[in-house]
Amino acid sequence: MTSPYYDYDDYSNPGQSRAQGLLSSGWRPLNRDLDYPYLAELLWTETGECCQKVMNLFSDLANAAGRREYTWWANALNLFSSDTRYYLDEFWSFITPDPPYPDHRYPDVLSIETPVKPIISRNSIAIDQVFRRLREIIILKILKFLGKPDLITQYYLDRHFYYPVQQFTDWERLDVVNSALAYWHEAEIWLQIDTLDKERRLTLRAKDLTPLARKVTYGLAVMLSGYQSRVGQIQSDYPIRTFPSEVQSFTDVVQQAILDQEQLAVLVSGEPGTGKTAWTQAVAKEILVPLGYVIFILDHEAVENFVPPPYLERICLIINEADNLATNRAMEVTQTSNKTERILSLLDGTLYRSVVDEFGAQLQQRLVVMMTCNTTDRLDPAVLRKGRVDLMAEFTHRFV
């Protein structure tokens, strides 16, 4: 969209100083082009309003040119004053269409208030804060991937401004008074920037954010474990080829199941030192990450509050020491905890697939759950039922 602008230095309105600040920071008043189909529809549907606007405009011009206390040449000069120009601009804004903006055609929304303030606590996992940080990382990565937009606009004091995209450098330096919009035509994505007190809200709107989210989250891993929670990359010190042959054969079965099934649960058991945790990390790094999975490593407290983020298409959950988590509910010590039910709801998908969103759309997430335990004897029998855990193996070789 081409955006010619009025090249004048004395542009003024109520709140002139802030508008001048926008102009000095690179923004330019947007010259709205006449659209004849839009004008015809406006005259047809809003005939009375159009007539009233025309009468008001001529009345304002007549008042500017017919002041009795001034000479004729002073009144003629008054026709070119900022007040008269404001009336003309207001009428022009009425008969021309607004700049494009996101509407119902862009149902996918991802939003975050940035910068995300860190919250550190040894007593509880700030899981919401970690998820906010994850959304911030994804949004910033998407913006970096998209590059310069095709259009940047801002509405302030009844006027639309635009920012020349050739002058754009980064979003942090962009001066935004209230709200600004940016659009990438090829990707069909909108960005809305809202200025808050000391923060900004970044909101991405698109017809489908999934492909971009998949690209920018490649290799991403999230550890939810008390005050050590962080977002980063998955690490593995032991490649799959270093494990015993029977473990490598089981890994081949797991890999094929990952390719074939939308949801998969794997449980490996064995004494400490048999390489169970190292194996889950190796599978995550060598198999799941190349397939576009985002890895979540959850401790027992995180399991109670975890719901898979809806904007991620492929998710892997790693849960260690599941025998201390999904314990047999017949045991008296387990009856005061709901962690077993949380594990079952994750395995069943009932925790996050029972309710679709308000638009009636549901992202078909692929979920892989990998659990480790020292023994299956203490696990609740419901965990081991068919349809919950798909593949099981016992590690017997002393690996570490």
In the chain, the largest separation of any two C-alpha atoms, in whole Å, equals: 104
Of 104-113, 291-300, 372-381, the range with the lowest mean pLDDT is: 372-381
Structure confidence by residue, pLDDT tens digits, 16-40: 566 677 888 889 888 777 888 888 8
Q: Are 19 and 157 spatial neighbours (Cβ–Cβ below 8 Å)?
A: yes
Contacts of residue 234, defined as CB under 8 A and 6 or more positions apart, other chains included, come to 219, 221, 281, 284, 285, 289, 295
Mean pLDDT along residues 177-198: 92
Q: Domain ranges in the chain?
A: 33-95, 108-212, 218-394
> How many CA atoms, within 13 angstroms, populate the side-chain half-sphere of residue 275?
23
Q: Average pLDDT, whole number, for the chain?
A: 82
The strand pair at 189-195 and 366-373 is best described as unpaired
Residue 326 confidence (pLDDT) above 70? no
Q: Does residue 332 or residue 268 have the better pLDDT? A: 268
pLDDT of residue 339 exceeding 80, the answer is no
| Region at 126 (left for phi over 0; alpha for psi -120 to 50; beta for the rest) | beta
168 confidence band (pLDDT: 50, 70, 90) = very high
Q: Is residue 199 predicted with pLDDT exceeding 50?
A: yes
Class of domain 218-394: alpha beta
Distance CA 142, CA 144 (A): 5
Which of 99-103, 231-235, 282-286, 301-305 has the largest mean confidence?
282-286
pLDDT exceeds cutoff 60 at 170: yes
Q: In the predicted model, is pLDDT for residue 143 greater than 80?
A: yes
* pTM given for the model: 0.77
b/e burial code for range 314-353 (CB count within 10 A of at least 16 → b):
bbbbbbbebbebbbbbeeeebeeeebbebbbbbbeeebbe
pLDDT of residue 110: 94
Of these ranges, 104-108, 129-133, 176-180, 200-204, the one predicted with the greatest mean pLDDT is 200-204
pLDDT band, residue 336 (cuts 50/70/90): very low
State yes or no: pLDDT of 134 exceeds 80: yes
- Percent of the chain residues topping a pLDDT of 90: 36
User: In this predicted model, what pLDDT tens digit does every residue of 2-12 receive, in sequence order?
Assistant: 443 333 344 44
